[in-house]
Chains A and B, each alone.
Chain A
């Protein structure tokens, strides 16, 4: 099986390039049989890549340590699901994983469009197969072949890094990769639009679902990464402005911008060049994210090994794509002219544009800060680093502006908002926001950013609540329905808008959670059994942890020392929690597992900072029980995860196709409404 997988990888390469040539040539010369051959090659490459992936997984499951990759990321006693996730545990396998996901989406796209959008498809096929060809070239020629063999068969593998032996490790990379790779489809259609000359908003409407799907996965992927860092890196934080974290955030920022700016092109025929550029930029950033992670260009907590031939190939690829796309855009500039212009700074167009500019500004700042050590070293010979203070300083104001826009955008009028429109829609929510800020001032909060965040969050929530209320009310009145029915129909008729509002609520929760960091509390103490440590939550109550004792045991893959604590809240027992240290025997590495007790408003977070006498505990020496702990209260952190759930709900609503779309396939994918049977006049 594994050998077959390796063979599949080799024959996928020429077939991918064949498909690329067939797509472009067939499309340009209008040769339908070439195009069909190209489309078939898309499916074939997908099957081959699936075989390659299965080959790798099979090698892991059957402990085939003669493969460099398997030996490096697995051992006999490793849990089965970590063996399976070995496919994306390391650089080589994850490249195959990336490719198979792109091929999967490509195959779906070709199948979905076998009778539709035919003017685009040959070029879509060409672009997608070209991209797959690139990844195959990297895999087979840049010394990163996952099927490379050692030349001997080790008795056991090196095992998986203990910090990767965590539930989130099996979820975070795949979801993030789904986000990155799904964006290849909108990019392919954008290039197809440029190549075929069909430059109206059609390509945007066609790819809207893909963009949203990609964004959905990217958002969840980033949030899962935060969860993983929070649980596994064990410092009480969830974001460190680490270069690899930043690299995954960059395409998210531009994808969010794109998600919004397409609405301007759809509604007002503006920003066509802008949207083309954004798609290109986002796609390049997804490739860049993988490039940064895989090439070890910037040192970071995440970084994989250095490999300069990969760096070269990636740079050439990204560079050529960029040049080709720019040439195409310039060539098509006449057809990309805006149909309208921005009439007023106070309008929905302007709000969306500001949203875009600010998101791109953040992306630029983060990119600059991440690359700064390299750039400064190249120019001055001296490496200069910037850390979290820089990123926070730049992004906090940007975050506030974005938060405000989240409330302004949905409600401000198109074209030109009059004073009437503004007072009507913003007076009350502004009042709510101000009231909330004042309330927090009276509670003693003085931090400007925190006050602004809480106030703006309230402002946005008020706006969304009023939108839902008024919309339901209007519909109930107009259609004569009950409020519950009206609400369901309201959302069902315009899923993109109302799903989007729900997503905004989730974003607000997350931003509010970020503000909670200003109120973190931390206490450190050494404890013997029976002793206690107390920490006061900013919400007023006091947690007391009673150290019961520490025990040791031997598990399949590691030895562990577990410290048990009883938790009291304001004096009454509410449960227990544990924190532990693990020694992974094969990797010879010590890992701390923190203890987290979540309540809706905060997390109680305990780190086993030190154990005095590991061996004494194993020997059951009663005097060896002294430990050192760091106890934290992290207010509002659970709201990040809640926000993620709400974002998921909103995204799913926005993504969900209306049942009638299937039937009304011949009309555009502007599938927001359920059709009524009768015809009516459009205008009076």
Chain B
């Protein structure tokens, strides 16, 4: 039997496994993720249709099918939210928000024990949320906040650790592009996901803040609080930091109150930040630069979306997700153990790959399996394995996976944020940053455990909106 005959007679699950294996091989040898998925998707379609109708006819069918996907998958209204969130992020740099936020936080919470550390946590959290960029936030605050902390006598390891960790608060608090991408891939409501991220994100920030206070009160020779600001001086800092609250507020109110679509909320947010940036004297060259960067990041995200959806189209013909779900639900262990193992696999994968690439590549196969573990797509909370309905499970899993992807950024030995902070601050070695980040790493691990154990924290806000 020739190779082609053998290939033609394979069952669909085997074809799915071969093609998926090929895709992973391409990713490992460094083919851009979007194109690795597109190559695998097209070859998979070609394989399936050639087996059914011969190579020539099969090639044309696969080609036509593949050719419609980039345009049709990208031109959906829900995706139009993504560039608005990205534009908010780039404009936020130009609106002078980083320094304004840090100054405001210093004056408002600096009096607490470890005050400068607490101020760093909250200002970085606010900026990370609006910019949506974990790594860049850590890099920026390493330049702003670390020198001030060192001046006050804070330990350099702590100062570097707090900055590296605070950047990771980017992806849960709205606006979050990655939650939008998750929602679209799993066909869940974008607004529900954005709302679901709010409490866990804010909770993570509070945990970090509380941790700094606890460390300051228990350890000797910790940096002193910053006192002596009058109320007048405090209120003076508010206008500069206001856009952050406005943007988060607009998005939360629009979506929660149902008075605007997510895209309208994102656009209003971008509009507010743009006015602020122009008011702060953003030049035409800066605006052009921000638009170019926005366009580039948008293209990157959209390319990987259609590339992966081409692969997903093929998966529809190869019953791989079903086979994987069957296998995983028949494992001889409790569904919770399986879920934890899946999350640990993400923790490892996230060290080697960007969060967006990791989620898009894995979710088409992993997500149906998680839903099946919980009891299937129509299960009610009472009958489910995790105590959440199918809709609840999809929202809850999204929040945990995204938190997990951020967690990877400070996981030794290759957490990217730690390398970035060490790169920006010559006085800190990478080991220093990893040492400093350990308390935050432990706190995050406990936060994730709490979110896994208590889906109610994640699902409360979406529940009020009618998603439960």
Query: Do A and B actually bind?
Result: no
